[in-house]
Structure 1
Amino acid sequence: MTPANPRIGIIADTRLQAHLLASAVKGQGYEVVLLNTDPANLEPDWLTQAPDLWVVDLSQEDRWQQFLDHLLESAQAPILFCDGQAPARIAPEYPRWERRLLAKLLDYVGKPRIREELETLTPAATPARPIAAPREFQGLAAGQVPEQVWVLGASLGGPAAVKQFLDCLPATLPVAFFLAQHIDGGFLDTLAKVLCRDNSFHCDVGHDGMVLHAGQVLLAPVDYEVTFTETGQLRSSGKPWEGPYSPSIDQAIQNASTAFGARAGAILFSGMGNDGAIAAPAMAATGAPVWAQSADSCAVSSQPDASRDTGCVSYSGDPEQLARQLVEHVRRALNPATGHTTQTL
């Protein structure tokens, strides 16, 4: 029997704080079932409806002392008292505030019920339109050292979007991809098989010692963090990924940026939560591009929206538009006439 999704009740004494809390909780995949912004007018039976957790944020606790006493006596579920007002979504500190909130929710009620259905990777009704390879790609073969390494970050709804993106790309694109996909480790081999079923890329689950090559997609292992050498070799850190979900998109972006600098890039695809929103601004600050799937093309847009809110995303589009943007970006890097110099790992 499929477990029920944790149900969260929110009580705050300002509409803005209630909205920010509800948005953050929903964005992480939990169900907000009760919301109240005026504890003084709480319905008599409200506290008996028993969500799995109450999240309470009162800016004027002294004013609501009687209510708090009643809540502590009557609530049938655990109570999480927030220890500070949420920053604005566009504030630099917002992603870390949201990550701290998620850590507390996980401690109280566990992970939300998010299951990626690989059936969404069945052939699309409208086949992808492959992009013609520019002349700059002539003579470049799959398997050689890639010109660039791009981290693809994805969660719920991500596999279908990533597959559409890959299906549009020309076989001679001199790029290697590292996919950090939130998924149960038992599905990684299946995901690797179906992602490249209708394109010319070679997909594998990444392991310690493997080397990134052009025309390749390596899936981040779930059980342990990997870093990269300057030559593109994966190295196990010997530690699990940090954060609530594995693999960590933030760590994957950070590690790629450290190894490859401006030769790296990142694209945030559909997903719950805000994984990537902490490391993406730091990557963009080095001059490396950070892009995101457009909200209207996502199954769930919380994840790319979180990075967009930081101001670091320089391009947004649907999977096909992202593919065309990447082909043009690489073409310009290979063509000295554009003012760019060719760089290899």
Structure 2
Amino acid sequence: MKTGNANSMIRVLVVEDSKTVQKALVAALEADPELRVVGTADSGEEAVEAAGTLRPDLITMDINLPGMDGFQATRAIMSNCPTPIVVVTGKLDPRDSDTLFRVMQAGALMVLGKPTAPGTPEHAESVARLVHHLKLMSEIKVVRRSFPEARALAALPAARPAVPGNAGQVKVIGIGASTGGPPLLQRILSSLPEDLNAAVLLVQHMAEGFTENFVAWLKHSSRLPISLAQDGMPIEPGQVLVAPDGHHLEVAPGNRVALSLAPPDNGLRPSVAALFRSLARYCGRQSAGVLLTGMGSDGAKELKLLRQAGGITIVQNRESSVVFGMPGEAIRLDAASYVLPPEEIIELLTRLAAPAPALLSRS
């Protein structure tokens, strides 16, 4: 482990076993006057030690490390000295998707691609994108993780929020999430029943190139079929459709998917705003919108449009959100019919989209 001058606004620990890539990352980050690399680590063991001794403001974490891998290192750091962690990795093989998103489940905030090699046309832009997101992530207050067993989570008593009068009419559920979203979405989708009588349309803010791996990871634990949305495909009950890279995901007339290359909304494409706006326009009372953890305000105004159109609107509560930006803005705008923790969101969605006989028997 090597250490450097720690006198800066944002103190970064770079974890990367390739000396060439490590050197390039350090140079790219230290070119920004607001970032200072205070240490580097070549292995997971070194990363855990450095996190405890240097107490950086942010850690960039590689996944494939000798000995203790990035997943194990992230778990150890989040258990002992919670620190904002961003996974910075190269192009992934789809077989690595499980490892990648397990790292996020362990507490990493975001996954970003490594900058392209110096001298390439995309280098400056890729570095600027990385630096921008690292600065944002450094401001997030993270909490200690205890990693209870999955069976213990499943044993938690489920609350039963009141079901609205138009529950049986809900045919489309739109969900939007950003920072902290992947593990929460995995938890929600793995808990929804296979006879769900509604389609789920999902927008997750994610670095380009990782969405396909995200879908592959979600498939491992869901009883519902999950796939990337395709333009023109029918929206049918019991399926989960995920917005692909670089395209807005919307509902079109005739209950079909529309993928759009319209300009970014809130600086984002796909945006939650585009999804919720289309639900308000074409689905109204037959839809529900769910806004989960995330930085910024994407989808908040449009969730209010959906509520005004008769849709059921749900936001994640402050206590369970990694970042309360998007849900908090929706609450400020009075866009939320319900403000709930994850267990109650799962319970309410299950009841909203239950097959008619099951809904009647539980009312």
- TM-score calculated relative to the size of structure 1: 0.56
For each residue in 1:220-239, what CA deviation from the matched residue of structure 2 results, as whole angstroms up to 9, or x when unmatched?
12323343224321123342
Q: In the alignment, what sits opposite 1:228?
A: 251
| Secondary structure in structure 1 of the residue aligned to 2:281 | helix
Q: Evaluate the alpha carbon distance shift between residue 309 and residue 147 of structure 1 in structure 2; reply closer, same or farther with a 3 A threshold.
A: closer
Q: Deviations over 1:87-129 (max 9, x none)?
A: xxxxxxxxxxxxxxxxxxxx9x9843368xxxxxxx9732453
Question: 2:293 touches 2:324 (CA, 8 Å); kept in 1?
Answer: yes
Query: Partner residue of 1:194?
Result: 217
Rounded Cα–Cα distance in structure 1 between residues aligned with 2:339 and 2:329:
13
Q: CA deviation at 1:337?
A: 6.6
Whole-angstrom CA distance in 2 between matches of 1:223 and 1:233 = 19
Range with greater deviation from structure 2 (177-186 or 218-227): 218-227
Letter paired with 1:283: L
Does 1:321 find its partner at 2:344?
Answer: yes
Deviations 1:1-43 (A, max 9, x none): 17658959xxxxxxxxxxxxxxxxxxxxxx9xxxxxxxxxxxx
Question: How many percent of aligned residue pairs carry the same amino acid?
Answer: 24
Aligned to 1:129: 154
| Contact kept? 1:168, 1:320, Cα under 8 Å | no
The 1:213/1:185 distance shift into structure 2, 3 A limit, reads farther
1:256 positional shift? 1.9
After TM superposition, the score normalised by the length of structure 2 is 0.54
Q: What is the CA distance between 1:258 and its match in structure 2?
A: 1.2
1:112 to 99, 115, 133: 133
User: Which of the residues 174, 184, 204 maps onto 1:161?
Assistant: 184
Name 2:307's counterpart in structure 1.
284
Give the 3 Å change call, closer, same or farther, for CA 337–215 of structure 1 in structure 2: closer
Q: Which moves more between the two structures, 246-255 or 323-332?
A: 323-332
Gaps of 5+ in 2: 1-24, 36-57, 59-127, 138-146, 159-168
Listed one character per residue, the Cα deviations across residues 162-216 of structure 1 (whole Å, up to 9, x for unaligned) are: 1111122111111111111111231111111112311211111112122222221
Note the alpha carbon deviations across 1:274-327, whole angstroms, 9 max, x for none: 111111111111111110111111222222111111112111222221010112
Residue of structure 2 equivalent to 1:304: 327
Shift of 1:254: 0.2
Matched, 1:179 2:179: no
Native 8 Å contact 1:269 1:304 kept in 2: yes
User: Given the superposition, is the C-alpha separation of residues 225 and 241 from structure 1 closer, same or farther in structure 2, using an over 3 Å criterion?
Assistant: farther
Q: Structure 2 counterpart of 1:228, which letter? A: V
Question: What CA distance in whole angstroms lies between the structure 2 residues aligned with 1:187 and 1:242?
Answer: 20
SS of the residue 1:221 aligns to: coil
Which amino acid is 1:292 matched to?
V
Is this contact kept in 2: 1:175–1:213, CA < 8 A? Answer: yes
* C-alpha distance in structure 2 between counterparts of 1:334 and 1:299, whole Å: 37
SS at match of 1:186: coil
Aligned partners of 2:174 and 2:276 also within 8 Å: yes
Whole-Å separation in 1 of the counterparts to 2:148 and 2:256: 34
**CA distance 1:259–1:198, shift in 2 (3 Å):** same
Q: CA RMSD in A?
A: 3.6
SS in 1 for 2:314: strand
1:274 aligned to which of 282, 297, 301 = 297
- Using a 3 Å threshold, how does the CA distance of structure 1 residues 215 and 110 change in structure 2: closer, same or farther? same
Match of 1:152 in 2: 175
Q: Distance in 2 between matches of 1:194 and 1:226?
A: 20
Extract unaligned runs of 5+ from structure 1. Answer: 9-30, 32-106, 116-122, 133-145, 341-345
Q: What amino acid does structure 1 have at the position aligned with 2:288?
A: G
Contact 1:185–1:221 (8 Å) recurs in 2: no
Q: Quickly say closer, same or farther: Cα 1:337–1:182, change in 2 above 3 A.
A: closer
Alignment size in residue pairs: 223
1:243 CA displacement? 2.7
Query: Could you tell me how far apart the structure 2 residues matched to 1:324 and 1:272 are?
Result: 25
- How far 1:152 sits from its partner (Å)? 0.6
Asked whether 1:211 is paired with 2:228, we answer no
Alignment correspondent of 2:163 = none
Structure 2 residue 276 is matched with structure 1 residue 246: no
Q: In the aligned structure 2, how far is the partner of 1:158 from the partner of 1:173?
A: 21
Bigger Rg, structure 1 or 2? 1
Question: Structure 2: how far apart are the matches of 1:165 and 1:311?
Answer: 24
Question: Are 1:223 and 1:240, in contact at CA under 8 Å, matched by a contact in 2?
Answer: no
Matched residue of 1:185: which SS?
coil
With a CA cutoff of 8 Å and minimum separation of 6, indicate the structure with the bigger relative contact order: 1
Q: Secondary structure at the match of 2:210?
A: helix
Distance 1:309 1:162 in 2: 24
> Taking structure 1 as reference, are residues 216 and 335 closer, same or farther at Cα in structure 2, changes over 3 Å only?
closer
Q: 1:314 to 1:110 in 2, by over 3 A?
A: same
